[in-house]
Amino acid sequence: MRRRDFITLVGGAAGTWPLAVRAQQQALPVIGFLYARSPEDSSAQLAAFHKGLAENGYIDGQNFKIEYRWARGQYDLLPSLAADLVRMPPTLIVAGAEPSVLAAKAATSTIPIVFVVGTDPVKLGVVASHNHPGGNATGVHIFTTSLEAKRLDLLHELIPRDALIGILQNPKFPYAQDQLAQIQDAANQLGQRIEVLRASTPAELDEAFATVPRDHLAALSVTADPFFDTRRDQLVALAAQHAVPVIYQFRQYVAAGGLMSYGINLPDAYRQAGGYVGRILKGEKPSELPVLQPSKFEFVINLKTAKTLGLNIPSGVLAIADEVIE
């Protein structure tokens, strides 16, 4: 081959490389990630989600791409965020928390959806049954909204029997009334007096905690809600400022200085969701993948916080803790 021909051949091939790379990138499946929370409080969930994908052979940027949409606790943004994703359209949508999956389901009945929700997805109307979801959605049911009674029971063990417990709730959460009904039933069975505090903005959280000394609340239970997760640091700081014992839904609150939590391992739920995304990308149908459930529940206590509050945790309560942070 003459030198001139060789140079022409190499030059022509080099000119096609960027086009080939672009074509490959365009051909990658796209995952739409619709989340009611914010990226700042979701790093552990995201790492676990990517781990679940990697366990099925999927690496971000290599054989799939991801498009994130964050509501940052502002649920009214989710319908437009879901519609924006559907216009792309993605290969599938991951929806984190009830407001997200409801928005995703309203936006599409054909694009596969993998959800992580705390409310029964059958009750939400997003699957026909746990074993046979039908339709275009499946995922992980993490039970957070059905654990309100247990959290109240644990808090009840720490305070005098005639004391008043505050229940912090976001009225904009889709199943706030169901949460409150469960808590009220549990309070009646325990003979526990409760007072409901409502907040759906950072300023309202400050106002809610200001009622603690005024109404002589002995403790608070923060209900399961993605908005509260986006304000985790604020909640923990307010609890310290007002020197009030508080129980939360996830371990992350206790690691940040909160007193107690009872719930599931949230990152592991997102690892499971990542696994389902990988299986769907390989061709399985969400209608045939049963809704998954967590296998472990965690009760975590921060003894350093208890000491700061001057609170003696009963030995019986310590004995049932899965983790004690000292």
* DSSP-assigned letter for residue 88: S
For residue 25, the model assigns a pLDDT of 46
Q: What is the pLDDT of residues 21-41, one digit of tens each?
A: 444 445 899 999 999 999 999
Helix (H) / strand (E) containing 159? none
Distance CA 124, CA 72 (A): 21
Same structural domain, 100 and 168: no
- The candidate with the shortest Cα–Cα distance to 165, out of 182, 181, 151, is 151
Sign of the four-CA dihedral 125, 128, 130, 133: negative
For residue 224, the model assigns a pLDDT of 95
For residue 24, the model assigns a pLDDT of 44
Q: Provide the residue range defining the domain that includes 8.
A: 3-144+266-288
> Which stretches of the chain score pLDDT less than 70?
1-26
For residue 6, the model assigns a pLDDT of 41
3-class SS at 103?
Answer: helix
How many distinct structural domains can be found in the chain?
2
Do the beta carbons of residue 186 and residue 219 sit within 8 Å?
no
- The candidate with the shortest Cα–Cα distance to 69, out of 56, 58, 59, 83, is 83
In the sheet where 65-70 sits, what is the strand order? 65-70, 30-35, 92-96, 113-117, 137-141
Find the CATH number of the domain harbouring 207: 3.40.50.2300
Same structural domain, 242 and 153: yes
Same structural domain, 119 and 170: no
Same structural domain, 49 and 35: yes
